[in-house]
Structure formats: structure tokens, C-alpha cells
Amino acid sequence: MLLIIGQYVLLAFVVIYATSKLSYYVDELDKKTHISGALIGGVLLATITSMPEFITSITSTMALNEPSLAFGNVFGSNIFNVVILAVADLLFLKQMFFNKVKTQRTTNAFVIVMYIIFMFPLLISGFTGLDYGSFTLNILLTFNLISLLIVILYVFSIRSMNNDETEQSEEGSDLTYKKIGLMFFLWAVVVVLSSYFVTIVADQLGDALNLGASFAGAIFLGVATSLPELTAVMTLMKLRNHEAALGNIIGSNVFNMTIISVVDILNVNDDIFNELVTNTEARENVSYLLILGLINSIILMLALLRKRSINKITYVLPSVLILIAYLVYIGLSV
């Protein structure tokens, strides 16, 4: 047990250090190219920091035949990502983060719609008996109609990030494009590899503690795979690159939702959503994760849509509510 914990801590340190370096070069790229920070954080950085979720979901579904672990990993990571944003908002309260960001509202709306789509069969199954299997397509490949809808929404979410207008920084980077690109690539490789190994150790730690697959995915794997997002947000907040910090979280969440769909499409032999039909425990756990994820995304949307708040007590309310909801979920899951 102590050996596994030691490995987890060491790998987590590598992930944190590498992601901090990666975030620095993201900030330099933002200054150099004047590309929207929302787009850089929401697509480029978010894709890299979400690679652990993608690799873990592929492995747990296609190699271990544990779709419930993939669901718990992805939706657990999404919840923890929003918690990261709330914690960063409170830690950097003087910056009044939500008063300054002007983008990602449309992209966050896509996240909310994705949650509703995933929840739809679960909500109506109790009234009509309809389940995820009713949405399975068997024309060329075996995958779920929900997966197709989510992929389409992801494409439109990228377009929304590209259309976001942000205030461009007047400060240019002294680094060359070549150096920024090379260092970005090298640290991205370190982040992906170290994140992959930390998720393996996190899975072993969950087994050692004798936790269920979905709960382990939501807690240990969810937190482990969110370490890159945690570090990226903290680093970008220190650099006051608020748009990239917000873009990384919301972009990661919309990408994570798409991971489930991509895994379902790649797993041509079966519809992974059938796990939610046949496994009562998995269906209940995923339902709780979806409900909490939807609630947190709605709170985040309200924080992005409201008028600028000067009073710090009212300003911190969304972040406090997000943390309370997460703690309630942890309490109910233990």
C-alpha cells in the first residue's frame, strides 16, 4: 500500500511540474500569436490535459471490459474540473476572475446540453421502460445514437470557441515560434506519459482500498486525470491569463464528454451504454455524477452570465455552491 501511495505522489508531482511548464508556453503562444486565449485553452491545451481521460477510458472499456469505470472517470473528472475552477476563483479572489472573462458561455451551454442528452434515457426509463439500448445503431457499426449527437455538438463547440472575441494582450513574447512549438511539444509528451502512468497507479490504489469501479473512477481516477487541468488553471491564473484558464476547464469538459462517444464508436463489437442498462449500481452512480455535473455547469453558467459583482460575498457565491455540491456528493458516496 505504501509503495503504491509513494508512486502516486511521485507521478503526481511529475504531472504537476510538466503541466506548469506546458501552461507557461501556452501563455507565451497566446502572446506571440494573438490567437484567442479561449481557443488555445479550450482546444489545444484542453485536448492535451484530457489525454489521460481518453487513454484511461479506452483501456478500461476495450481492454478491461469495464465501461462503468470509463463513465465514472469522465464524469468524475468533469465534476472535479469545475471544482478546480471554483477553488482557483477563491484562492485568487483579488482578481475577481468571473468579472473579467467574457467568453466560453456558448461552449458551456454545449456542456449543459450534452449532460441532458446523456441523462435523457435515464430520466425517461422509469416512466416508459426505454433504455440506452433503444438508441443503438446497427447499420454499419454498433454504436449509440447519443454518441453521434455528442460528436456533432463537439464540432459546433469548437466553432463557438473560435468565434469568441477576447481582448488581445499588448505584450508580445520574446521567444521564437520554433522554440515555443518545440518546448510545447516536449512538455506535452511528458504530461501525457506521466498522466497515463498516474492513472494506472490510481486504479491500483482504488483496488487496494476495495472501492467499486464507478466510485474509484469518480474519485481516484477522476482526481488523478484532472491533475493537468488543476495545474494548468493555477499556473494560468498566476499569469493572469483568465481566458485560457477558463477555456482549459470548459474545453476539457466538452472534450471529456466526447471521449465517451468516441470510445463507444471505436468499440465496434458492443454498445458501451448497455452497461447502464444491465448494471444497476453503475446506472445509479452515473446518474448521480450526471446530475451533479449538470448542476455545477448551470451554476458556472450563471456565474458567467451575471453582471459584474463588486461585493465579494455575492461574488463568491457560485464557487461556494459548487464546492458544497461536491462535498455533498462525496459524503453520499462514502
Q: Residue for cell digits 477576447?
A: 166
Q: What is the largest CA-CA distance in the chain?
A: 62
Instruction: Indicate whether 208 pLDDT > 50.
Output: yes
For residue 90, give the C-alpha cell: 477563491
What per-residue confidence (pLDDT) applies to 334? 62
- Indicate the pLDDT class of residue 140, thresholds 50, 70 and 90: very low
Question: Which of 77-86, 160-169, 176-185: highest mean pLDDT?
Answer: 77-86
pLDDT of residue 302: 92
At residue 85, the pLDDT reads 93
Q: What single-letter amino acid sits at 271? A: D
Which position has the grid cell 468533469? 78
> Residue 311's pLDDT is what?
83
DSSP conformational letter for 217? I
Under DSSP, is residue 137 helix (H, G, I), strand (E, B) or coil?
strand
Examine the pLDDT at 188 and tell me if it is beyond 70: yes
Give the CB-side neighbour count of residue 119, counting CA atoms within 13 A.
Answer: 18
Alpha helices in 169-279 (DSSP H): 177-208, 213-216, 222-225, 227-238, 242-266, 275-278
Residue 170 has pLDDT above 70, yes or no: no
The highest-confidence range among 116-130, 140-154, 294-308, by mean pLDDT, is 294-308
Domain 2-333 has CATH 1.20.1420.30: yes
The fraction of the chain above a pLDDT of 70, given in percent, is 78
* pLDDT at residue 90 in the model: 94
Q: What is the pTM of this model?
A: 0.81
Residue bearing cell 469501479: 213
- Name the residue among 63, 27, 73 with its Cα closest to residue 282: 73
Task: Specify which residues 143 forms β-bridges with.
Answer: 137
pLDDT score at 136: 54
Cα-based angle 300, 302, 303 (whole degrees, multiple of 5): 65
Q: Which residues contact 185 (CB under 8 A, 6 or more apart)?
A: none
- The residue extents of the domains of the chain are 2-333
Tens digit of pLDDT for each residue in 77-126? Answer: 899 899 999 999 999 998 998 888 877 888 899 999 999 988 876 666 55
- Here the cell at position 322 is 459548487
Which range of 153-162, 175-184, 242-251 scores highest in mean pLDDT? It is 242-251
Residue 45 C-alpha cell reads as 491545451
Q: What letter represents residue 171's amino acid?
A: E
- Range with lowest mean pLDDT among 138-142, 255-259, 280-284: 138-142
Angstrom distance (rounded) from CA 303 to CA 40: 22
pLDDT tens track for 17-37: 888 888 888 888 777 776 666
Q: How many CB atoms lie within 10 A of CB 334?
A: 8
Q: What is the mean pLDDT of residues 3-9?
A: 84
> How high is the mean pLDDT of the chain?
79
pLDDT for res 300? 94
**Selected residue with higher pLDDT from 212 and 177:** 177
* 321 contacts: CB under 8 Å, gap ≥ 6: 299
- Average pLDDT in the 248-260 region? 90
Question: What pLDDT does 299 receive?
Answer: 95
Greatest mean pLDDT among 145-149, 202-206, 251-255: 251-255
Q: Which residue has the cell 459584474?
A: 308
Strand-pairing partners, residue 136, are: 144
Question: Do 76 and 202 meet the contact criterion of CB atoms below 8 Å apart?
Answer: no
277 vs 184: which has the higher pLDDT: 184
Strand-pairing partners, residue 54, are none
Q: What share of the chain is helix, strand, coil (3-state, %, to 5)?
A: 80, 0, 15
Q: Please state, in angstroms and rounded to a whole number, the distance separating the CA atoms of residues 62 and 59.
A: 6
What pLDDT does 262 receive? 85
Cβ neighbours of residue 75 under 8 Å, at least 6 residues apart?
A: 218, 222, 256, 286, 289, 290, 293
Most confident range (mean pLDDT) of 37-41, 300-304, 326-330 is: 300-304
Residue 139: what pLDDT?
46
pLDDT at 266 over 70: yes
